[in-house]
Amino acid sequence: MQKTYKFSEITYKILRKEIINIEVVRSQNIFKEWFSFNYEINSIDLEYLKKLIETNRYNIDNYIEYQLFGYFINPLLHKVYFYGDNYREWLQEEISGIVNNIKIIGILDFMVASGTEEAKIPYFFIQEFKRSSSAKHPKGQLLAQMTVAIENNKINKMRGAYNIGRFWFFIVLEKINKSKYQYHESESFDSLKINDLKQIFKILKAVKHKYCK
């Protein structure tokens, strides 16, 4: 009988021990091209970001996932506006795939993918809007989703992000060969600091303008 995992069940330890051969790359050089995207934030968007911080500053660390997404993440993504002629954002979309003869299935929090009526090729994931005090780390679930996307679409690289309360981390996952993966993890960005939030905004804009093709 084929073994099956739900995304919500997968920790990084389970992913590494039971599903794929994966290791972290102890370098952040891969992010230089992505993070150096030249985008000028106009005065209207800057005021929007400042207001987003002030509105959530004293509550964000206590938000449950639904509140964190509704009050902070979604307004930020709305301002980025992940919509184009051949791609859009997808919320609570179900995906599944076979990785090393193991079926993985579940509901995504957020994905940018090609297609307008049906999601096709994923470009970017944001997963696990966890409150700061949550004991479960979101990285394993995010990497599992990115792995399924790589296998389903027969590509070798995927970008994503996870956040824990106010803190954002960006991930690049690469398939090295048939049985080996490696991932790169960025420094943390504190979304309640305006310079960090501006950088998060630019990084998300880079996804839209550089990689949604």
The CA-atom distances, in angstroms, between 161 and each of 8, 54, 109, 203 are: 16, 23, 11, 10
Query: What are 76-135's pLDDT values in tens digits?
Result: 999 999 999 999 999 999 999 999 999 999 999 999 999 999 999 999 999 766 665 555
> For residue 140, what are its two tokens?
């394993």
pLDDT at 57: 96
Q: How many domains does the chain have?
A: 1
pLDDT at 64: 86
Q: Whole-angstrom Cα distance, residue 86 to residue 177?
A: 30
Give the single-character DSSP code of 83.
B
Q: Whole-angstrom Cα distance, residue 161 to residue 166?
A: 13
Q: Whole-angstrom Cα distance, residue 36 to residue 14?
A: 34
- The whole-angstrom distance between residue 167's C-alpha and the CA centroid of its chain comes to 13
Domain containing residue 190: 4-211
Query: What are 155-168's pLDDT values in tens digits?
Result: 999 999 999 889 99
**Dihedral sign for Cα atoms in the order 53, 57, 61, 63:** negative
Nearest to 187 by CA among 199, 202, 201: 199
